[in-house]
């Protein structure tokens, strides 16, 4: 099945579960992020797992190693399949998170956030041509630390894949059905087909599906564009 992840950026559990129910059997992964996790908590994760979804818990951990270790332990205990932490937290934080996953029973892949897809190169303190190399360098470090992959825009996926050893994964948000940013907060965007051709292993899509007149039609459109 294609690795399409729907970002459940919705205000509460009932909205999230209603959307997940509509897309059950179509989209294999659900992303529980800051908004809905703050509203609905771990119960929502358990319910999505019980519905048969793979769950990506996108809380972007960034704290002292001991705290992140505990968060990663809790995520693993909860049955989360994939969770994120910030590369900027550094090696000790990342390794502590990996230990936490083992203590929690394993099974949770940890991915490092590199440069947020909402940031322009200038906002990230980089020149445009420097972004892919900066992201690839963070990816190489994340791989050395033992993480399973990185979150980056499709625009950097090729540089990441050219730098890391095989098997290290790229998860790309900022996916739009046309090449232009849609006037929202995302800045480094790419179409599904281009992101996959560049090496993306997972695509994360939120508003293009959530805000569509028919989310099922929109999800099928993204899946078709994934080839
Ligand atoms: O609505 P949209 O398709 O822009 O949603 C993208 C999702 O991916 C959001 O839930 C956002 O939190 C997440 N994300 C991102 N950029 C990152 C990491 C995660 O857009 N670097």
Whether the full predicted model's pTM is greater than 0.85, yes or no, is: yes
User: How are beta strands 169-172 and 149-151 bridged, if at all?
Assistant: parallel
User: Does residue 49 carry a catalytic annotation?
Assistant: no
Question: Is the CB of 207 inside a 6 Å radius of any atom of ligand 1?
Answer: yes
- Average pLDDT of span 200-207: 97
Q: How many other CB atoms are found less than 10 A from the CB of residue 104?
A: 21
Fold that domain 4-225 belongs to in CATH: TIM Barrel (3.20.20)
Q: Which long-range contacts (CB under 8 A, 24 or more apart) does 176-180 make?
A: 176/208, 177/208, 177/221, 177/222, 177/225
Q: Strands 202-205 and 149-151, how do they pair? A: unpaired
> Per-residue pLDDT for 183 more than 70?
yes
**Which candidate, 119, 141, 145, places its Cα nearest to that of 130?**
119
Per-residue pLDDT reduced to its tens digit, 59-118 = 999 999 999 999 999 999 999 999 999 999 999 999 999 999 999 999 999 999 999 999
Which three-class secondary structure state does DSSP give residue 9?
A: coil
Cα distance between residue 85 and residue 112, in whole Å: 5
Catalytic site residue from 49, 60, 138, 161: 60
Domains of the chain, residue spans = 4-225
Tell me what pLDDT residue 181 has: 66
Question: In this structure, are residues 101 and 76 in contact, taking their beta carbons and an 8 Å threshold?
Answer: yes
Asked if residue 117 has its Cβ within 6 Å of ligand 1, the reply is yes
Test site for ligand 1: of 120, 150, 206, most ligand atoms within 8 A of the Cβ: 206
pLDDT of residue 115: 95
């Amino acid at each position: 099945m294609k690795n399409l992840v729907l970002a459940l950026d919705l205000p509460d559990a009932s909205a999230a579960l209603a959307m997940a129910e509509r897309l059950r059997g179509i989209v294999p992964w659900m992303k529980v992020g800051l908004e809905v996790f703050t509203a609905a908590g771990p119960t929502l994760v358990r319910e999505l797992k019980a519905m048969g979804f793979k769950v990506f818990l996108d809380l972007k951990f960034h704290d002292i190693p001991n705290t992140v270790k505990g968060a990663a332990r809790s995520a693993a205990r909860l049955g989360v399949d994939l969770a994120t932490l910030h590369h900027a937290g550094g090696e000790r934080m990342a390794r502590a998170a990996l230990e936490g996953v083992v203590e929690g029973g394993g099974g949770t892949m940890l991915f490092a956030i590199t440069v947020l897809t909402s940031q322009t190169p200038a906002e990230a303190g980089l020149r445009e041509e420097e972004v892919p190399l900066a992201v690839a360098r963070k990816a190489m470090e994340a791989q050395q630390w033992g993480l399973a992959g990185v979150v980056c825009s499709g625009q950097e996926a090729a540089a990441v894949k050219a730098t890391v050893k095989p098997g290290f994964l790229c998860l790309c948000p900022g996916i739009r059905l046309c090449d232009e940013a849609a006037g929202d907060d995302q800045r480094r965007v790419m179409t599904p087909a281009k992101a996959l051709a560049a090496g993306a292993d997972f695509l994360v899509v939120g508003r293009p599906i959530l805000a569509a007149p028919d989310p099922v039609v929109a999800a099928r459109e993204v899946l078709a564009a994934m080839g």
